[in-house]
Amino acid sequence: VTVMPDGVAAIDVNGNVTFASPHLLDMHGGTLAEVVGTSPLNWIAPEYQAKAAANIQALLNAQPLPGDHEFVL
């Protein structure tokens, strides 16, 4: 994960970020300490937040996700 060109984050069952890859932090400009414990929606462009929120809720409810999982930061 640390050498992937994509930004990767992990969230816990409460929907809070528990991990962010170095590339994600580089793209966003934040630090791991600033990101961990926050909602991933804080780091997604406003026009993608509703779609991201629906996908996060589906994941937390163990439901299948709709097609596209990429979001703009």
Contact 28, 43 (CB under 8 A): yes
Which alpha helices (DSSP H) does 1-73 contain, by range? 22-28, 32-35, 49-60
Residue 20's beta-bridge partner residues?
A: 9
Q: Which of the two residues, 68 and 30, has the higher pLDDT score?
A: 30
Q: Quote the percentage of the chain above a pLDDT of 70.
A: 89
Query: pLDDT per residue over 26-35, tens digit each?
Result: 988 889 999 9
Q: Is the pLDDT of residue 38 over 90?
A: yes
* Per-residue pLDDT at 34: 94
Check residue 16 and give its pLDDT: 92
pLDDT for 68 equals 61
The sign of the torsion formed by the CA atoms of 21, 22, 26, 30 equals positive
pTM for this structure? 0.73
- Give just the sign of the alpha carbon dihedral 32, 27, 41, 20: negative
